[in-house]
Structure 1
Amino acid sequence: MSDFDQMGIVVDWVDACRRGDLAALLDLYTDDAELECTCNGMQRYRGRRELESYWGPRLSGFSSAGFGLEEIKPTPHGVDLEYSIAGSLRIRASFRFSAEGKIYSTLCTPSRQNSHDGCAC
């Protein structure tokens, strides 16, 4: 059991996405964090610079299209989140955390509840 609020960190992540605040979003991750996206094939990003190149272009799209929290729940190893873009495109993200309370791993996949040809994650 962690001594920090994992759900709160993910809510902060959602808030940063809604605001389009790249600096705040990146500050939630460890310096060597890894993001794996399977929405359009397998893509991996590691470290602050690669995460910045991944999230930078996406955040402006999120804030203009609308970013919605659909479901958030704790898991034995972190937090799972389902969010939507423009009210319809649904993405599932799984977060894992360092002992210091930072995100060290994110896996995003298209949500099984919505069929589409890709995602904006």
Structure 2
Amino acid sequence: MSDFDQMGIVVDWVDACRKGDLAMLLDLYADDAQVECTCNGTQRYRGRHELESYWRSRLSTFSSAGFGLEEIMPAPHGVDLEYSVAGVLRIHASFRFSPEGKIYSTLCTPSLQNTHDGCAC
């Protein structure tokens, strides 16, 4: 069991997305973190520079379309989150953490009920 608040880190992640705060969001990730997005084919981004490129456009989409927290729950090795964009598009994100309390990996997939809508993650 970790000695840091995994759920709190994901709540901070949600806050950074809602605010469109790229620096705050990137600070939550480990230096060698990876984001894997399977929404439109599998794409992987690793390290701060690639994550910055990945999140820059998505954060502007979130702030203009609206970002909503749908569900957050502990998972066996981290935290699972479901969020919505524009109140319609639902995305599932799984977070795993480094021993230092940083996000080490994020896997995002379209939620099953809305796979026909595409993905903004």
- TM-score category, normalised to shorter length: over 0.9
- Match of residue 74 from structure 2: 74
- Could you list the structure 1 runs, at least 4 aligned residues long, displaced by more than 4 angstroms after superposition: none
Gaps of 5+ in 2: none
Task: State the distance in 2 between where 1:57 and 1:70 align.
Answer: 22
- Match of residue 85 from structure 2: 85
Larger relative helix fraction? 2
Identity among equivalent pairs (%) = 85
Listed as ranges, the matches of 1:1-121 within 5 Å are: 1-121=1-121
Task: State the distance in 1 between where 2:107 and 2:30 align.
Answer: 15
Q: CA deviation at 1:92?
A: 0.2
Query: Contact 1:89–1:116 at 8 Å: present in 2 too?
Result: no
Give 1:17's aligned amino acid. C
Task: State the distance in 1 between where 2:17 and 2:58 align.
Answer: 9
Secondary structure of the structure 2 residue equivalent to 1:115: helix
- TM-score when scaled to structure 2? 0.98
Count of aligned positions: 121
Q: What is the alpha-carbon root mean square deviation over aligned residues?
A: 0.7
Q: CA deviation at 1:20?
A: 0.2
